[in-house]
Amino acid sequence: MKLGMLTACLPQLTLEEIAAWAAGAGYEALEVACWPDTGGRDFEAAHLPVANFGPADVERTHKCFADHDLTLSALAYYENNLHPDPVRRAEIRTHLTRTIDAAAALGVPYVGTFVGRDWTKPVRENLAEAEPIFRELVDYAGERGVKIIIENCVMEGWHPDGYPGNLAYSPELWEWMFSLGLYLNWDPSHLVWIGIDPVTTIAPYAERIVHAQAKDIQLDPAAVNRYGFFGKAVDRPNPWDVGWWRYRVPGRGQVDWDAVVDALYEHGFTGTLSVEHEDPVWGGDVTRVEQGLSIAHRTLRPLIVA
């Protein structure tokens, strides 16, 4: 097992800058964010130019990782592959296939994304629509030696009423997507707030958990008594502000990391545990984000065999 980090939390920095910092901070791997370059917008990280990824980009990327003795664990493009707007859905698919092509060129085994959801349709119709889409994507990736990994994030902010916007949030849905040839980028934080014990989900699905993300979560029991499980309904200007929980860096929330890492080892996980930093306390600027990543490293590093 390696301890890594997802680069998406540092969209202001180049991949070379992140690699230098991560290596100095003791990280061993990077999960590299590959959203499209939108010309300076700092919300989505574009750390590899996958849309036009040529031999020079391959050579430069390999040199960057070799210089800093890091592993490139996965490429990340987490978007809604079932977006209800057909034009937007086609854009997402095109960029995802380019990300797969870049992973193949680099020899990276995994590309991470979301199943997503057309929020105008019920779950049953979404699953039926998704099956041919993802079978084709799995075949496309497999022909290039790449596996598609799906993060089990609920993506409640994608749904107009805060319901699940990514149909990969529960073991029931994992079994459906595994039948299509997909794998899991397992994240315990999302399981906690929907009432699932993360540790119990490792053993049954160990063969499909090939990459994992380390994100913590902090619950507010008093707030859930006011808003209920689905969160704020009347005053919710930010669709991601559920009101009764927030993400934290590992060590600042309620995930039992001793139990998580122990279970991953027990059931044969040899991939990368990649810190995904979305902690509002340790956010806002590069310095605070790096401090949060350092907290995560101090929490997790003692648990991982050198």
pLDDT of residue 205: 98
pLDDT of residue 281: 98
Query: What parts of the chain have a pLDDT lower than 70?
Result: 39-43
pLDDT of residue 37: 86
Checking phi first, is residue 117 left (phi over 0); if not, alpha (psi -120 to 50) or beta?
A: beta
Question: How far from 206 is each of 6, 99, 190, 258, CA to CA, in Å?
Answer: 21, 26, 18, 17
pLDDT of residue 43: 60
pLDDT of residue 25: 98
pLDDT of residue 73: 98
CB 215 within 8 A of CB 198: no
User: How many whole angstroms from its chain centre is CA 233?
Assistant: 26
What is the tens place of the pLDDT at every residue in 200-250?
999 999 999 999 999 999 999 999 999 999 999 999 999 999 999 999 999
Domain boundaries, the chain: 2-215+252-303
Superfamily for the 2-215+252-303 domain: Divalent-metal-dependent TIM barrel enzymes (3.20.20.150)
How many CA atoms within 13 Å lie on the side-chain side of 224?
12
User: CB neighbours of 265 closer than 8 A, spacing ≥ 6?
Assistant: 1, 305
CA distance 103 to 205: 25
pLDDT of residue 39: 60
pLDDT of residue 106: 98
Q: Residues, the chain, total?
A: 306
